[in-house]
Structure 1
Amino acid sequence: MLKFFRSPASMIALLAGIAGVLLVLYAWRLPPFVTSVETTDNAYVRGYVTIMSPQVSGYVVEVPVKDYEQVKQGQVLARIDGRIYAQKLAQARAALDGQKASLDNSRQSELSARATIASSEAQIDSANAALKRAQLAWDRVSNLNDRGIASASESEQAQATLEQAKAALNQAQAALEVSKQSLATIIVNRSLLEANVASAEATVHLAEIDLQNTSIVAPRDGHLGEVGVRLGQYVAAGTQLMAVVPEDVWVVANFKETQLEGMEVGQPVSIVVDALGKQRLTGRIERFSPAAGSEFAVIKPDNATGNFVKIAQRVGVRISIDPDQSLARSLTPGLSVVVNVDKSVEPEAKTAAK
């Protein structure tokens, strides 16, 4: 037996076997390699990468920015020829002026109609007065006629005057009704004219928006990606011109489902950045994905067909970067990192509560 251990080949085989056993124990996290630290290299820096696209079509007349340039919110990134849109705006404003003139004319017609009503009412008063005089004259002639004093011609004239006064009163009353109906028609048409004015105003606002949209501006502070648009290029609505990447970044680490037990929001995280020479940053668990990554895949796996092999799924964990770290400014979306989470450390909120 001692000769067996003295043999170099036997010692190497023994050591290799021990190393193999230890490797299996480490891979399966079995004693004595049980640890509360979970690690994954399936983690990447993420950010708000905004693809800039125009809302109107036209030829590009200005591209004042270059690749990877830093931009400020509201800075012009590209400009589309706006002459056509400026003329459409002028046309819309002219149509609006025409509709407003029609509305003003309606208001003036209303004033005229009300004046006509007042005139018709005055004519009715005049007709009533004439009818009263004619009625009195007829009464006198009728009394004289009953006594045999008045002549036939006087009686006929008084009767004709009375009938004429009654007709004049009816005519004045009819004229008043016509004036009132004309006023009602004007007021009813007013709502249509007001709607036309509102429609013309909306058309003006749309034309103003289209003219403003000929200038593509940065929505936030950040850096540009590669500028794909060129001077003189014809672009349509939705054409991808360039990307704006703001300064805000975070990490999405995809842990296996077997690693999630014990992880909580607020736990500290250590982040090793490959692009920064393996230097470390700190962060906090912010939130967990509501589903495994396979659920968000375009083509979902169908495990109901063929032989089934259980594969540990991965769940995304969003990690915020702690502030006041100078290296954090060097992080850009897409960089790969290694994330370590010590599940034995209580979250910050629980520690503060104690």
Structure 2
Amino acid sequence: MILPGRPLKPSVARTHLNVCAGTLIRLASCKPEAGSPGCKPDIQARRIERQIPMLDDQRRSATADPPSRTTGPEDAAARDILDLDAEARKGRPDGGPTPGGPEAAETDGHEGGDEGGEDENRPSVIRRHPWWFILGAVALVALGVGGYLYWQIYLYPYETTDDAFVDARSFTIAPKVGGYVVAVPITDNQHVEAGDVLFQIDQRDYRVALEQAEAQVTASEAAIKNIDAQIDAQKAQVQVAQAQVDTAQAALKFAEEDAARYKALAERGAGTVQQSQSSTSQLQQRQASLASANANVTAAQKQIGSLQAQRASAEAQLAQSKAQRDQTQLNLGYTTVTAAQPGRVVRLTGGVGELAQAGQSLSNFVPDDIWVTANYKETQVTDMRPGQAVDIAIDAYPDHRITGRIASVQPGSGTAFSLLPAQNATGNYVKVTQRIPVKIVVDGWPSDVAIGPGMSVVPKAHVR
């Protein structure tokens, strides 16, 4: 339908007029007896005849004052006319273009802009084929998901972080004894092997102390020998006292027999009472002599015990002297400060002539046993396991690429083991992604460059 009072675009108006003219020509040549569903001359002719004057007015008005390009009811009317022309073409046996229609107008070269107006009024591809669009969107999403999975598994099968650095158990070097530094045979950043001399402390005081300790050991050993001699002499005295005991026992036995004989004679009247009393007195003397001899033996034996106690004390003194001697030997050895393991000497502060105190730091030491500590996000360690390969790039030496493997994953975040761990018991808690330290051991460090603790690296752990 053409809405009255609404101006049409020039191209649309011309198209309508061409369609109407072509339709009228076709209707004039249409045979009603053909029974064609597209051939209805009376109805279609009347409809077109009513629209021709209106279209002509619209064309003139549009030519004088072209309206803005809007899509409104007039465009719908134009589509209605085109639909009528399409119905007319259905009735043609050859299905060709209707004379005077839009196709004929294009062939004759009437207003090349008419084709653009017709294309603007056609439905979009999405409206004509909605299922194709849906299937295409689903295929595009599936392709994106598959591409992402392929990228994650095959093209990006690793986890990386720039929060990583070289780590080591570095420590300070300090002498165990004090004294003047007389030699420093090393320099800064020098690599040393185990046993190499780092510092030399003056040994003279410690040599004197060692000699004194050795003299004390000698004196203690001599005291023990003296006590051993006294013990041997006292044992001889015990033997002498024991012999006296034996003599006293023999004399006592004789006195007992003699006293018994004189007593029997006196009782029979064959002997005198004086002889009996004399033998009894002699018996008592022998008994006293035996008791004295036994006492001498006991005293001599006790003296041996006392000497043995003195010897034990002397042995303790000797052990103490030997311990002092050993300590002075250790102190003398401590005057030579050596490297306990291979590594590098850094931050050398000690110098010749300096009075170093025991425990005073003279330099730092970095062992050759170094590794990489990488602080991965907790969301990155899901697939990390010990033994997985790691590619490492060193920021200081970008031309060097080294490889390694994961040694261990710390069972906890780095903040949990810090000096002041975070307390989240208050109400202002904000969740943040924690960092998990991962220890990475290197297969082999470059020998032509210096690498030490704190240097930044970028590890790429192959986790898939």
TM (norm. structure 2) is 0.62
Counterpart Cα distance in 1 of 2:243 and 2:330: 54
| Deviation of 1:144 (Å) | 4.2
Larger radius of gyration between Structure 1 and Structure 2: 2
CA shift for structure 1 position 154: 4.3
- Mapped to 1, the partners of 2:211 and 2:448 lie a distance apart of 50
Q: RCO higher in 1 or 2 (8 Å CA, sep ≥ 6)? A: 1
**Offset at 1:175?**
0.9
2:256 to 115, 118, 135: 135
134-143 vs 30-39, greater mean Cα deviation = 30-39
- Partner residue, 1:124: 245
Structure 1 residues 275 and 134, CA, compared in 2 at 3 Å: closer, same or farther? same
Secondary structure of 1:184's counterpart equals: helix
Q: How far apart are the structure 1 equivalents of 2:226 and 2:410?
A: 64
Q: Find the partner of 2:175 among 54, 60, 72.
A: 54
Measured against aligned partners, the alpha-carbon deviations of 1:65-112 in whole angstroms (never above 9, x if no partner) come to 211223221121111122222222222222222322333333333322
Spell out the pairing of 1:181-260 with structure 2 (5 A cutoff).
Answer: 181-260=302-381
Q: How does 1:142-181 map to 2 (within 5 A)?
A: 142-148=263-269, 150=271, 154-181=275-302
Unaligned runs of at least 5 residues, structure 2: 1-147
Structure 1 window deviating more from structure 2 (101-110 vs 289-298): it is 101-110
Residue identity opposite 1:343 in structure 2: V
Match of 2:457 in 1: 337
CA 1:32–1:155: 2 relative to 1, 3 Å: closer
Which residue, out of 155, 162, 165, partners 1:44?
165
Secondary structure of the residue aligned to 1:332 is coil
Q: Report the structure, 1 or 2, having the larger strand content.
A: 1
Q: Which amino acid in 1 is paired with 2:337? A: I
User: What per-residue deviation string (whole Å, max 9, x for no partner) do you get for residues 314-340 of structure 1?
Assistant: 1111111124x6568653332211111
- Aligned residue runs from structure 1 range 65-84, under 5 A: 65-84=186-205
Identical pairs, percent: 34
Query: Structure 1, residues 131-164: CA drift from partner, whole Å, max 9, x if none?
Result: 2232333344334444545456544443332222
Gaps of 5+ in 1: 1-29, 345-354
1:12 corresponds in structure 2 to: none
Q: Structure 2 CA distance, aligned partners of 1:61 and 1:226?
A: 19
Q: For residues 2-39 of structure 1, what are the alpha-carbon distances to aligned partners after superposition, in whole Å with 9 as ceiling and x for unaligned? A: xxxxxxxxxxxxxxxxxxxxxxxxxxxx8897544211
For residue 58 of structure 1, report the CA deviation from its aligned partner.
Answer: 1.8
Give the corresponding residue for 1:92: 213
Q: Give the Cα–Cα distance (whole angstroms) in 2 for the partners of residues 78 and 326 of structure 1.
A: 29
Q: Is residue 76–residue 215 contact of structure 1 (8 Å, CA) maintained in 2?
A: yes
Distance 1:292 1:101 in 2: 66
Looking at structure 2, the residues matched to 311 and 67 of structure 1 have their Cα atoms a distance apart, in angstroms, of 42
Contact 1:44 1:333 in 2 (8 A): yes
Instruction: Describe the superposition over 1:202-228 as per-residue Cα deviations: whole angstroms up to 9, x where unpaired.
Output: 222222111111111111122221321
CA RMSD, aligned part only?
Answer: 2.5
CA separation in 1, counterparts of 2:418 and 2:271? Answer: 115
Separation in 2, partners of 1:237, 1:166? 73
- Report the Cα offset of residue 270 of structure 1: 0.7
**TM-score, normalised via structure 1 length:** 0.80
